[in-house]
Structure 1
Amino acid sequence: MATLAPPVTRGTTPRVTGASGGHLMRKKRLFWPFVLPALALYVIFLVLPTVATVVLSFTKWAGAGDTPAFNGFTQYSQMWASDNFQSAFQNTLLLLFVGGIGTFLLAFLFTMVLRDMRGGRLVRAILFFPNIVAPVAIGMFFGLMFMPDKRGLANFVLDKFGVEAVPFLAQGSIVWVVMGAIMWASAGFYITILMAAVDRIPPYLYEDSDMAGASPWQKFWNVTLPMTWDVVGIAGVLWTINAIKIFELVFVLAGSGGYAPPPFSWTLGIYVFDRSVGANGTPNFGAACACAVMMILLVSVLVVLLRRLMRRDAIQF
């Protein structure tokens, strides 16, 4: 005799019983004990300092021993009217966009070369090496290399060929020297990321391209780039965040042994530092916080725009 299963009422969730139900309940009990410590650290060291930074950006505060005084948007208006801030803002955007284009062009070029190159993994490791070195050390290395006269290695070599010394660290060229140093130090990181994505591409796609007589550029444009598009988007986000907050390399390379680099070479990170420690007088933490808020907004807007521009349907392979 057949038995009829009890009807299932819509909107109700079937009760899970047995071993699977017990396992699910244990997972639910362990959820908060594991999540709460990480959530508490996130709130204490990220959320609360961010909120405090936003609040202090509307005040005038000289630090310990002084009481923050609310002054509305005064810090923001004074910041935008400052020549030092405008220079730092322009330099940051220049490093972000021009340096980003150069870095990713290098990364794509090496990706095309290293895919079929013998010993490509060794070359990839060598290119990644600058990312292991501290940015301060890289800044010192390039600072010594581009010192004026024949004291720097670059001008010493130029002198051997009868070329006059080039003022690499002068006002008109320091930003480009910094940009070249950043591209040299950063390219290996993005080459490694892109090559990890290229390694996931099925080899038969390249074999079919070879049989069709595709050039290296055609294989890159029609196979490599579409298959790694999501990774390129993530790499773009990482570059945006790192470029906007860059500090150590510029501070050491453009500083030339002084306390701080000249204002024409500043980035937003150095502007925040200068207003925080009071290099030009009494510290102004309100102005430093206002610039930090601008950096947060700039990162947020650019990352959202980049993710929207890079959005596309995932390719299954």
Structure 2
Amino acid sequence: MASAVTTGRRRLFWPLLGPAMALYLIFLVLPTIATVVLSFTSWSGAGDTPEFAGITPYREMFANEAFWYSFLNTVLYIVVGGAGTFLLAFLFTMVLRDMRGGKIVRAILFFPNIVAPVALGMFLGFVFQYQPNKQGLANFLLESVGLSAAKFLQPENVTYTVIAALVWASSGFYITILMAAVDRIPPYLYEDADIAGASPWQKFRNVTLPLTWDVVGVAGVLWTINAMKIFELVFVLAGPGTESPPVRSWTLGIYVFHWSFGTKGTPAYGAACACAVMMIVLVSVFVVLLRRIMRRDVIQF
């Protein structure tokens, strides 16, 4: 009987897995391979024939100041934005576990995630607006306590403004993920900790964090991938609305966009694909490092 069930499962394996693998191959694997191949060419799009250029697109990319601004800004979003987001998520996780109405607060905190990034960027543009006698909310509050208004959306400042906006907008999503993991922890573990006189920090460090470590690792990978793709928020906050924003505010996504559509002339898809390949390499490095750092034995409970 058992062998018949096993045989039946094996017969269903490929019919069920086949369509998913086909879609994965068509929409992810093949485009990735095509991107890598085109990154070694000089190609201006439809009507032009790709010409092999060797490593010239990569050499030009590494010599381009705009690429290094894009690279450093993207790394800042991943590292600094991730640290701020998870710090805030952990703090709320400690508070919401024992809080009445915690699920309602969780839903409220999640709300920014359902707003389109373009709409969110437009809203934050009004909040951080710098215009004497017609300041945005942030500068109005600064001036109301006697401080000088700040140019939050200047190219040299907008990266840090976007980081703050990302932490605010993204924390609710990761709070929801972490709280779902916390809800699985048996209550008697926290009761034992209370009897032992543990502080909230000690309960988080010795109970919550070890028992949600695998979920924290997955959330870290999700953050890395999402932060690598940041585009709309920077484009709306830093840009004039009709073309690429100032170079100092670029991310790798904007660098790809610029060489694909924002050159005001002939596109350079080889240069765009070279940057896209670097994005794949960078996210792969971060994910591998993160998984190694987060590796530990699974705790059963």
Match of 1:301 among 281, 285, 291: 285
Q: What is aligned with 1:229?
A: 213
Deviates more, 1:302-311 or 1:20-29: 20-29
Q: Deviations over 1:263-295 (max 9, x none)?
A: 111100110111111425321000110000011
> Partner of 1:315 in structure 2?
299
Mapped contact 2:43–2:49 kept (Cα < 8 A): yes
Amino acid corresponding to residue 308 of structure 1 in structure 2: R
Q: Aligned pair count?
A: 299
Deviations 1:9-46 (A, max 9, x none): xxxxxxxxxx4444433333332222222111111111
Give the 5 Å matches for 1:133-212: 133-149=115-131, 150-212=134-196
Q: 2:234 aligns with which of 236, 250, 254?
A: 250
SS at match of 1:206: helix
Matched, 1:105 2:87: yes
Identity of aligned residues (%): 70
Q: Which is greater in Rg?
A: 1
Q: Tell me how far apart the structure 1 counterparts of residues 202 and 4 of structure 2 sit (CA, whole Å).
A: 55
The whole-number CA distance in structure 2 between the counterparts of 1:241 and 1:230 is 17
Match of 1:13 in 2: none
| Residue 285 (1) aligns with residue 269 (2) | yes
Q: Deviations over 1:293-314 (max 9, x none)?
A: 0110111111111111111111
Deviates more, 1:271-280 or 1:56-65: 271-280
RMSD: 1.5
Return the letter of the residue paired with 2:73.
N
Residue of structure 1 equivalent to 2:10: 28
TM-score, normalised with respect to structure 2:
0.95
Where do 5+ consecutive residues of structure 1 fail to align?
A: 1-18
CA contact (8 A) 1:174 1:254 kept: yes
Single out whichever of 95-104 and 28-37 deviates more from structure 2: 28-37
How far apart in 2 are the matches of 1:169 and 1:230? 37
Q: Structure 2: any 5+ residue segments left out of the alignment?
A: none
| 1:154-190 per-position Cα deviation (integer Å, ceiling 9, x unaligned) | 2234444454332111133111111111111110011
Partner of 1:131: 113
Alignment match of 2:63 (pick from 81, 85, 89): 81
Alignment partner of 2:277: what SS?
helix
Structure 1 Cα separation of the partners of residues 262 and 167 of structure 2: 31
Tell me the distance in 2 between the aligned counterparts of 1:163 and 1:303: 41
CA distance in 1, matches of 2:242, 2:201: 46
What is the rounded CA distance, in whole Å, between the counterparts of 1:177 and 1:34 in structure 2? 46
Q: Which amino acid aligns with 1:254?
A: A
Instruction: Determine which of 22, 45, 51 is the counterpart of 1:69.
Output: 51
CA distance in 2, matches of 1:160, 1:258: 34
CA contact (8 A) 1:143 1:256 kept: no
What TM-score comes out, normalization by structure 1 length?
Answer: 0.90
Cα deviation digits, residues 39-90 of structure 1 (max 9, x gap): 1111111111000000000001001111101011111111011010000000
Residues 173 and 278 (structure 1), Cα distance of their counterparts in 2 relative to 1, 3 Å cut = closer
User: Counterpart of 1:148 in 2: which secondary structure?
Assistant: coil
Does the 8 Å contact 1:171/1:264 carry over to 2?
Answer: yes
Match of 2:198 among 214, 233, 237: 214
In structure 2, how many angstroms separate the alpha carbons of the residues matched to 1:311 and 1:158? Answer: 44
The question of 1:117 aligning with 2:114 is answered no
Aligned equivalents of 1:214 and 1:307: distance in 2? 30
**Shift in alpha-carbon separation, 1:277–1:247, aligned structure 2, 3 A:** same
Contact 1:274 1:280 in 2 (8 A): no
AA matched with 2:59: S
1:142-163 CA deviation, whole Å, 9 max, x = no partner?
0111111124222234444454
What CA distance in whole angstroms lies between the structure 1 residues aligned with 2:229 and 2:207?
A: 34
User: Which residue in 2 is equivalent to 1:15?
Assistant: none
What is the DSSP-based 3-state SS (H/G/I as helix, E as strand, rest coil) of the residue aligned with 1:64?
coil
Aligned to 1:92: 74
User: Which residue of structure 2 lines up, in the alignment, with residue 40 of structure 1?
Assistant: 22
Query: Partners of 1:229 and 1:24 in 2: how far apart?
Result: 34
> 1:274 maps to what in 2?
258
State whether residues 45 and 267 of structure 2, in contact with CA within 8 Å, keep that contact through their aligned partners in structure 1: yes
Q: Which range moves more in the overlay, 84-93 or 152-161?
A: 152-161
Equivalent residue, structure 2, for 1:3: none
